[in-house]
A and B are shown apart, each in its own frame.
Chain A
Amino acid sequence: MNILVCITHVPDTTSRIAFTNNNTEFDKTGVQFIIGPYDDYALARAVELKERHGGKITVLNVGEADADPTIRKALAIGADEAVRINAFPSDSFFVANQIAAVAKAGEYDLILMGRESIDFNGGMVHGMVGELLGLPSFSPVMQLEVEGDSAKLTREIEGGKEKLEVKLPFVAGCQEPIAEWKIPNMRGIMSARTKPLEVKDPVDNTAHAELSNYELPPAKGAVKMVDADNLDELVNLLKNEAKVI
């Protein structure tokens, strides 16, 4: 089974967010980058499916050269080869076009992504790619089992979940508890160094949106502490000051 896993290279979840250059660029100073947490679930499930059914895992990132260490980490976790489309991932349609081009060129039984990226949180790329390829797309997928040419999956719906049976191939945006995040072991790290990472130019430069600038939210005021023996005061504040109850 051939699986394509699309990964983002994003600031660690604990990062302080700041901008430079007149609020037009993300400030990378001191920021640790990671595989997007949802993409990491997708990758972990791909590794499990490969263990079970055999085949090959290709990871794909649309990004600049600073994403290479993140891609190597995905190879260390268990992907067999990697492709990086060398471009700044500015717009989700642009990214989707790149992913669709790679997917068309290969024969993939499954295209796994995260439910959303944690930088722009669009949650949109999987649907776009599905449409561009004429394949079904599902998200957020919480469970995924493959049997022959079909799959059983569980999708989260608001306030619950739904089980589906579908034919391969398709696109899935993954989230927990589809698999547990995998930590690369020493052998994985060593072998990742020599696994192929192909860098390609983008196929098409169409974008649908451009960034004007970034903004930070206004700073939060100081917390008002209320004594645990005076909860009527808390109720009063919620009712008359915040006016939320």
Chain B
Amino acid sequence: MSILVFIETEEGKIKKSSREAISFGAALGETTALALGSVSEEELATAGQNGAAKVLHVADDRLNAGLIQPYAEAIAAAMESTGAEVLVTAKSSLADAVVGRVAAKTGAGLVSNVVALPDTSNGFVVKRSIYTGKAFANVSVTTDKKILAIKKNAIDLKQDGGAAAVEALSVSLDDALFGAKITATEKAEGDVLLPEADIVVSGGRGLKGPENWGMIEDLAKTLGAATGCSKPVSDMDWRPHHEHVGQTGVKVSPSLYIAVGISGAIQHLAGVNSSKYIVVINKDEEAPFFKAADYGVVGDAFDVVPKLNEALKKAL
């Protein structure tokens, strides 16, 4: 099978979720990665570690911002020129917006939130997460061409490959595709991106106010974690909206999720139930979150969090 993997970069580095997508592709067949916009060749060559045989690079400066229509056009053109049977991408807010268009352009069957390699013993059956992580569906894709958007942290990283050859690819992109004008971009720099994070420390209304987030940030720093929050916390502007985890926010799937002062409402759980391990810190032993947790501590966050941070610093 010939596979094309669309990869995204963040501050010049290939995103971890894109490396997972390459690993997924490499397990299926001959894998070519595709990068859009300016990225260094050295960085792109490292896609080989994850199993890409080759990286195609469309080094068009107009693609430095993640624009939906031109991206869809460039990806569809690369699918065409490589004759790829399967396009693989990590699920992300950009990829979501882009691959629906690619599917409609190419007639490829699209499955999102894929959590495992397809079963090709009888057709092409893919397992995907549904109902916000509460269930799975096995879906049979009936088209010749397929597009799979992979759920983050669902696939083991392959890291034992060599360097990939990087080749320039040129695609012609009509100016009309660039009709949307970006007037401003705001980005938290240097922090661990929440949807990509391997460890997440989240705070809820139990923390009483934004001024108390210092201890959450300290704990996250010790663990190299991203910070998250519950919906009321972002609704009250204690924390930025992009940190809000749950049914109507970011769905995370880290190895470790630490919830501090969050009650564990089902809508919050919907965003975290794909985490491998969950630690809950809450002063109320009846908090529903404990039922979804692997480890629990009943106690006052203002006492437990700093102490946990000290214990971790000692041990790490």
Interface size on A, residues (CB 8 A): 80
Q: Check A156 for interface membership: any CB of B closer than 8 A.
A: yes
B93 partner residues in chain A, CB cutoff 8 A: 139-140, 156-158
* In contact, B97 and A127 (Cβ under 8 angstroms): yes
Q: How far is the CA of A236 from the CA of B311 in the complex (A)?
A: 10
Q: Check B105 for interface membership: any CB of A closer than 8 A.
A: yes
* In contact, A231 and B297 (Cβ under 8 angstroms): yes
Q: How far is the CA of A160 from the CA of B195 in the complex (A)?
A: 12
User: Which chain A residues numbered 204 to 234 have a C-beta less than 8 Å away from chain B?
Assistant: 207-217, 220-221, 223-228, 231-232, 234
Interface size on B, residues (CB 8 A): 96
B295 partner residues in chain A, CB cutoff 8 A: 223-226, 234, 237-238, 242
B241: contacting residue among A115, A177, A210, A238, CB under 8 A = A177
* In contact, A215 and B135 (Cβ under 8 angstroms): yes
B306 closest partner in A (C-beta): A231
User: Which chain B residues numbered 178 to 202 have a C-beta less than 8 Å away from chain A?
Assistant: 179-188, 191, 193-196, 199
Q: How far is the CA of A175 from the CA of B138 in the complex (A)?
A: 28
Known pairs A17-B134, A92-B110; A228 contacts B139 (CB<8 A): no
* In contact, A121 and B311 (Cβ under 8 angstroms): no
Q: How far is the CA of A173 from the CA of B99 in the complex (A)?
A: 14
Q: Check B312 for interface membership: any CB of A closer than 8 A.
A: yes
* In contact, B94 and A122 (Cβ under 8 angstroms): no
B283 closest partner in A (C-beta): A228
Q: How far is the CA of A166 from the CA of B69 in the complex (A)?
A: 13
Nearest CB of B to A27, in Å: 11
* In contact, B180 and A138 (Cβ under 8 angstroms): yes
Q: How far is the CA of A187 from the CA of B82 in the complex (A)?
A: 58
Q: Check B247 for interface membership: any CB of A closer than 8 A.
A: yes
Q: Check A244 for interface membership: any CB of B closer than 8 A.
A: yes
B108 partner residues in chain A, CB cutoff 8 A: 208
A166 partner residues in chain B, CB cutoff 8 A: 179-181
Q: How far is the CA of A136 from the CA of B241 in the complex (A)?
A: 25
B305 closest partner in A (C-beta): A231
B265-297 vs A: 1/0 string, CB under 8 Å?
Answer: 011001001001101100000000011111111
Say whether chain A's binding surface is mostly helix, strand, loop, or mixed.
mixed
* In contact, B104 and A96 (Cβ under 8 angstroms): yes
Q: Check A123 for interface membership: any CB of B closer than 8 A.
A: yes
Q: How far is the CA of A140 from the CA of B95 in the complex (A)?
A: 11
* In contact, A118 and B185 (Cβ under 8 angstroms): no
B123 closest partner in A (C-beta): A212
* In contact, B256 and A162 (Cβ under 8 angstroms): no
* In contact, B100 and A127 (Cβ under 8 angstroms): yes
Q: How far is the CA of A160 from the CA of B303 in the complex (A)?
A: 32
* In contact, B142 and A210 (Cβ under 8 angstroms): yes
Q: How far is the CA of A60 from the CA of B45 in the complex (A)?
A: 47
A116: contacting residue among B96, B196, B297, CB under 8 A = B96
Q: Which residue of A120, A163, A237 has the most chain B CB atoms within 10 A of its CB atom?
A: A120
* In contact, A11 and B141 (Cβ under 8 angstroms): no
* In contact, B142 and A244 (Cβ under 8 angstroms): no
Known pairs A160-B187, A232-B315; A136 contacts B179 (CB<8 A): yes
A19 closest partner in B (C-beta): B135
A202 partner residues in chain B, CB cutoff 8 A: none
* In contact, B248 and A17 (Cβ under 8 angstroms): no
B96: contacting residue among A127, A212, A227, A244, CB under 8 A = A127
Interface residues of B (CB under 8 A from A): 10, 65-66, 68-69, 72, 91-94, 96-101, 103-105, 108-113, 125, 127, 129-143, 149, 179-188, 191, 193-196, 199, 223, 235, 241-242, 247-248, 251, 255-256, 266-267, 270, 273, 276-277, 279-280, 290-300, 303-304, 307-308, 311-312, 314-316
A-B contact pairs, 10 of them (CB 8 A): A116-B96, A121-B113, A159-B188, A208-B103, A212-B137, A217-B273, A223-B294, A226-B297, A232-B311, A235-B308
